[in-house]
Amino acid sequence: MFTARSLDIIHSDNTEYWIWVRTNDSRFTEVAELLKVWWLDIKARIKLNELLPKTKYTARLIFKTLPSSTGLDTFQEASVSMGTFKQKKNVCISPSVAVPNVGLPVRRSDGWMELELGQFYCDNNITGDREVVVGLMETDNYNMKTGLIVGGLEVRPI
């Protein structure tokens, strides 16, 4: 598990856009709460030497949305890149309707949501890659986005 603090969240250092909040209702002691942005860009850089070699992984954003959230019902781009391997797909954090070929979140038993951003195979002994970059981005639709609470990114073997 990578905490929200360990992620690269654009503008998270500006309290006009994001605030850091302590929580008691989950395993996350601190989460990032989106106040307002027009561009959504969240990335994690994962060192491959911290993972098991010759293992396939899934990377999932762990989040909640507030009832007052806005602008999160558009498509976002999820990506995984490692060396020459690049994978992109459309996802939606807060869909108003199901759309074919778009990754949608699922509710976890702990009350949080998870959204698969991608999968990758860890074998840095062959490729020599040192890290994988997992991202979620939405920069094409300049509508204001509010009410997203990011807990972290979970990377687990498949």
Q: Are 60 and 39 in contact (CB under 8 A)?
A: no
pTM: 0.93
Q: Residue 29: its pLDDT value, please?
A: 86
What are the pLDDT digits (tens) for 74-126? Answer: 999 999 999 888 999 999 999 988 788 999 999 999 899 999 999 999 876 65
**Domains along the sequence of the chain with CATH:** 2-157 (2.60.120.260)
* Confidence tier at 19 by pLDDT (50, 70, 90): very high
Task: Please tell me whether residue 125 adopts helix, strand or coil conformation.
Answer: helix
Structural Rg of the chain based on CA atoms: 15
Burial class (CB in 10 A: 0-12, 13-18, 19+), 134: buried
One-letter identity of residue 5: R
Q: Are 60 and 42 in contact (CB under 8 A)?
A: no
For residue 63, pLDDT beyond 70: yes
Q: Are 99 and 114 in contact (CB under 8 A)?
A: no
Q: Are 66 and 127 in contact (CB under 8 A)?
A: no
Q: Which two tokens stand for residue 110?
A: 């702990």
